[in-house]
Amino acid sequence: MEHFTSVADIGDLKKAVAEALQVKHDRFAWDTLGRNKTLVMLFFNSSLRTRLSTQKAAQNLGMNVMVLDVAQGAWKLETERGVIMDGDKPEHLLEAIPVIGSYCDIIGVRSFAGLTSKADDYNELVLSQFVQYSRRPVVSLESATRHPLQSFADLITIEEYKRTPRPKVVLTWAPHPRALPQAVPNSFAEWMNATDYDFVITHPHGYELDPRFVGSARVEYDQHKAFEGAEFIYAKNWSAWADPNYGKILSSDRSWTVDSAKMSLTSNAFFMHCLPVRRNMIVSDSVIESPTSIVIPEAANREISAQVVLKRILETL
């Protein structure tokens, strides 16, 4: 594996899940593979799970890890090419990236969508420069349009919990007070479309995702109908993708909150969310605390997805 930025980089999903379960069974079996190798993780945005799980995964492999919060203690970085740098950003990515690359063997980058320019976001303005200029394998720790380590962990979790070979999996929009990127739903859709699951997306009108990510999924605007017979409910908020409303909140309709009444329409579905989650906006207390809520094992699998990705990259170095 050269870089890990989307589902295309993981190859055969069945093999990837089998490898993940092998890693989970004995996560210290490759504890010398990363000896004298260094992972730098660069965060342009906040994180709890990605930071801790990826660091733990790297340490399981014997790697050294350095973490840099770009917003705290580092120089502010200019990302646009050709600008006159007379503002508050004293360093350009074009110098910072190769410098960081010179200190490490693998680079992890978290850089969210700005939600002001769809072109910048969907061209992956920041991540693509790391891929182009670092001369190191790059792992997306969530980019403007995708969150592949999360989606891989989601897939592992579904494979562990599914009760039927081809479960109905529903991605549902839910309300949130702030405008959020489409990275998690895009990525989840991309990974679910790479399986043979019965995959349905439900959201209010106006929240259509980029058709390149929707792919072969069925879109159902009636959330109740979408939930019927579902075995997994994956909740997430996202802002509008379609023009002219890119990045905007069009609805905060709390009738879309996932609650017990809606879950009763499902086939005793498991509830999933990538976390952090706003309780009683996205999901009711009763659902997230129910026996079928698997948000904690889902988050725990972030260590496993990260370890498989780092292991595969290390095996090529």
Q: Where on the chain is the footprint of ligand CP (CB under 6 A)? A: 47-50, 142, 150, 274-276
- Indicate the residue among 168 and 189 with the shorter CB distance to ligand CP: 189
Rounded to the nearest whole angstrom, what is the least distance from the CB of residue 261 to ligand CP in the complex?
27
Rounded to the nearest whole angstrom, what is the least distance from the CB of residue 301 to ligand CP in the complex?
11
Q: CA 32, CA 239: separation in Å to the nearest integer?
A: 43
Rounded to the nearest whole angstrom, what is the least distance from the CB of residue 49 to ligand CP in the complex?
4
- Indicate the residue among 129 and 305 with the shorter CB distance to ligand CP: 305
- Indicate the residue among 168 and 299 with the shorter CB distance to ligand CP: 299
Rounded to the nearest whole angstrom, what is the least distance from the CB of residue 43 to ligand CP in the complex?
9
- Give buried/exposed letters for 41-64 (b at 16+ CB in 10 A, else e): bbbbeebebbbebbbebbbbbbbe
- Indicate the residue among 98 and 276 with the shorter CB distance to ligand CP: 276
Contact 152, 308 (CB under 8 A): yes
- Indicate the residue among 21 and 275 with the shorter CB distance to ligand CP: 275
DSSP one-letter string for 150-162: HHHHHHHHHHHH-
Residue with tokens 């709390």: 254
Contact 182, 145 (CB under 8 A): yes
Residue with nearest beta carbon to ligand CP: 50
Rounded to the nearest whole angstrom, what is the least distance from the CB of residue 308 to ligand CP in the complex?
16
Contact 298, 272 (CB under 8 A): yes
69 CA to centre of own chain: 19
